[in-house]
Amino acid sequence: MVLYEYPINERIRSLMRLEYLFKRLFAFISGTSPMHQHVALSLLFEIMDTCDRAEVRSGILQDIDKQKVNLESYRHHPNIDLNALDAAVADLSRVSAALMGKGRIGQAARENEWLMSLKNRFAVPGGTSQIDIPSYHAWQLSADENRQRAIKEWVEPFMPLFDGVSVVLKMLRESGSPIDASTQEGGVFQEMLGGKIYQMVRVWVSDERLIYPEISANKYVVWVRFSELDAQYKTQLITTPTVFKMSFCNV
């Protein structure tokens, strides 16, 4: 099964975009090639811009506090593993404390003048060539271990943000249970929410064909239809009933 996820509000959309950027960053940051590190830097700069455009920290802290309250409400229930409960609360507190640091997220990296001048050049097509910024070309020719150490130092200030994004999205995903569903004649699935509030929809489809869902959702209704890529990579709407699994998630 292939999983597709859809955020129902802009705050969760911002967190999912950050998660996507961090996953790509970690995939390239361990590479020793200057080309790997070039991509890693471009992703780091995208993360910086995303932090500047969205107030993600306050939302993450609110979700963590809410989850801590929910966990504490189980403390006096029978058959509760108190050690596991304490460990979960302590982990949430650790992530929250690290994220509450003073200043903008990643302030230490932002104070590096050369790194910020490089960030500006990344915004220009071809702007990182040696004719535009020879210092970057020289840096790329430096020892592998020096470049790897520098990038890890620049990424480190953003790790509390990654931990916060990860814990909130993990809690959100675990809040929903998959159910079986199917589109109707015409290829459309529609579910009225009846006043229930959700933050994410998850859809699992078969991996036997290049099928993907188009999902639309608001506080009233969730709407899903499926399309398929043919041999020429043209989109074909699937109008016959399609079986899939889905879950509705809310912390």
Joined together, the tokens standing for residue 153 give: 């130092």
CB 95 within 8 A of CB 64: yes
Closest Cα partner for 199 from 88, 67, 50, 71? 67
Give pLDDT tens digits for 93-111: 999 988 887 677 888 888 8
In this predicted structure, the answer to whether residue 124 has a pLDDT above a threshold of 90 is yes
d(CA 172, CA 227): 27
pLDDT reading at 42 higher than 80: yes
CB 64 within 8 A of CB 167: yes
CB atoms within 10 A of CB 249: 21
Q: Sorting pLDDT into bands at 50, 70 and 90, what band is 54?
A: low
- What mean pLDDT comes out for the span 118-138? 94
Rounded percentage of the chain residues whose pLDDT exceeds 90: 57
Give the separation between CA 59 and CA 67, rounded to whole angstroms: 12
**pTM, rounded to two decimals:** 0.89
Q: What is the pLDDT of residue 43?
A: 97
Tell me the mean pLDDT in the region 208-215.
90
